[in-house]
Amino acid sequence: MQIVVVGSGYVGLVAGACFADLGHDVIVVDNDQKKLAALNRGEVPIHENFLPELLQRHRGARLRFSDDLQGAVRASAAIFVAVGTPPTEQGEADLSYVESVARAIAGAINGYKIVVEKSTVPVYTSDWVSKIILRNGAEHGQFDVASNPEFLREGTAVTDFLYPDRIVVGADTERCASVLREIYAPLVDGTYYLRPDAIPRPDRAQIPPPLIATSAKSAELIKHASNAFLAMKISFINAVASICESVGANVQQVCQGIGADTRIGPRFLNPGIGYGGSCFPKDLLAFRAVARECGYDFRLLDEVIRINEEQRQRFIRKVRSALWTLRGKRLGVLGLAFKGGTDDIRESPAILLVQALLQEGCEICAYDPAAHERAKEALNSSVHFAESAYEAARDADALLVLTEWEEFAALDLKRLHSELKYPIVIDGRNLYHPEIMAANGFTYYSVGRPAVSPDPAASATPVPGVKKSARS
């Protein structure tokens, strides 16, 4: 099928590359000439596993890039809208880019088309897109508007698209739903997974994935409600971690106990410094705004947001309790992206913590495997950027772990100890076993677990091994 994806950002680029891998002919449209030129040269603008391989495989063949939206619409049967929906000052989603695309689509309709919301948008957006297209010259029956929300996690977006937990198709006519079923048929009928060049299957993948057919409004709500619920799980376990610290319990043991309940499950029960990124903060504000418009005071979302913000303050207090005063202290920082596996620093709790520590008068030396350049733009010249984790730790009063990169969990603890001025590690992601850290001579602070210090009676021989990150 001929498909156009409007927007070459994180969602649009991944969707376009994956649709091409399913066998469709895809045109990704953007009005950013600089970005288009880079994509046509084969440059990959985001750090995303398997995306470079798909772009190299399909660029110039099944996957093309263009600035001609109307020409692409005329040549396509399905138009996926994946433009930005940033929050306004009031927390509502700014839908001006979606409206602009809808107006442009109206002037190019030359036969039956489906217009599919791929961006995260509030309920009723499908109705408004339909009205805008009609107001700008299209006729009833020439098009349908559907909602097909994405459930992509940065760092695993390609495998999330090709091996999804579910495919949600929100369409109000059977004609529209049948087109979307055809688009996703290689996944739903399992034929994609039989190909020798298919992207490798991740753990726990359900093959084939279920396709859930709903109304457009239900699909719009599914996306916002899903992200709100996941953010709530993170804030809930962070609140539990705070209680664990107060009473001397171990939050990871608590997580194991409650996560074993099949009604709850272990995923997203990861205490740390809070959620961030381009989705959760924005989507919670937008969902709360929608609820208020509907006359419902969704105070649970207010508390989820408050706990998340408080978690960063608790971590600052943890750093202060370890070092007493902060002004003039040299801190090594591991991780600046909002999560491991991506270079995205949007709403990154790591960046927000670094900015807060700079205001406290700290000197920061930071290292991130992928977010180096993006963080430079956000932090200007206030931070020294290291080329390795060990360089970030060199002569530091303490080392802060702020992002759960797997390479951080595999560091040589003996070398790390020798690089630090004082062997103090404050771990905001619980990457290490406290007992192992103490045995290797560290004073170690983590989230929701008792702090530990070196045992004077223990052997001086370091104990090898650290726990790998178990992040979702």
Domain boundaries, given as residue ranges, for the chain: 2-214, 223-307
431 in Cβ contact with 335 (< 8 Å): no
438 in Cβ contact with 424 (< 8 Å): no
pLDDT band at 459 (very low <50, low <70, confident <90, very high): very low
202 in Cβ contact with 159 (< 8 Å): yes
Same fold? 2-214, 223-307: no
Does the structure show a pLDDT above 50 at 471? no
Q: Computed from CA positions of residues 269, 273, 279, 282, in that sequence, does the dihedral angle turn out positive or negative?
A: positive
Q: What is the pLDDT of residue 461?
A: 47
Does the structure show a pLDDT above 70 at 463? no
Give the closest residue to 163 by CA, choosing from 138, 200, 131, 132.
200
Catalytic annotation on 294? no
219 in Cβ contact with 149 (< 8 Å): yes
Average pLDDT over residues 202-217: 94
pLDDT digits (tens, 9 = 90+) for 337-349: 999 999 999 999 9
Q: What is the pLDDT of residue 235?
A: 97
Average pLDDT over residues 155-176: 97
pLDDT band at 457 (very low <50, low <70, confident <90, very high): low
Does the structure show a pLDDT above 60 at 177? yes
What is the token pair recorded at 46?
């985001």
Q: Give the number of other CB atoms < 10 A from CB of residue 93.
A: 24
Which residues share a beta bridge with 27? 4, 64
Concatenating the DSSP letter of every residue in 227-292 gives HHHHHHHHHHHHHHHHHHHHHT--HHHHHHHHHTSTTT-STT---SS---TTTHHHHHHHHHHHHH
CATH class of 223-307: mainly alpha
Average pLDDT over residues 138-159: 95
Query: What's the rounded Cα separation, in Å, for the pair 301 and 303?
Result: 5
Among 279, 294, 362, 365, the one annotated catalytic: 279
pLDDT digits (tens, 9 = 90+) for 228-271: 999 999 999 999 999 999 999 999 999 999 999 999 999 999 99
What is the token pair recorded at 68?
């001609």
Q: What is the pLDDT of residue 91?
A: 85
pLDDT band at 468 (very low <50, low <70, confident <90, very high): very low
Query: What's the rounded Cα separation, in Å, for the pair 120 and 86?
Result: 10
Q: What is the pLDDT of residue 97?
A: 95
What is the token pair recorded at 326?
């902060």
Q: What angle do CA 106, 111, 112 make, to 5 degrees?
A: 90
Q: What is the pLDDT of residue 439?
A: 96
Average pLDDT over residues 93-103: 95
Superfamily grouping for domain 2-214: NAD(P)-binding Rossmann-like Domain (3.40.50.720)
* Exposure b/e, 57-69, CB count within 10 A at least 16 = b: ebbeebbbbeeeb
Average pLDDT over residues 175-204: 96
- Percent of the chain whose predicted confidence (pLDDT) is above 90: 92
Average pLDDT, the chain: 94
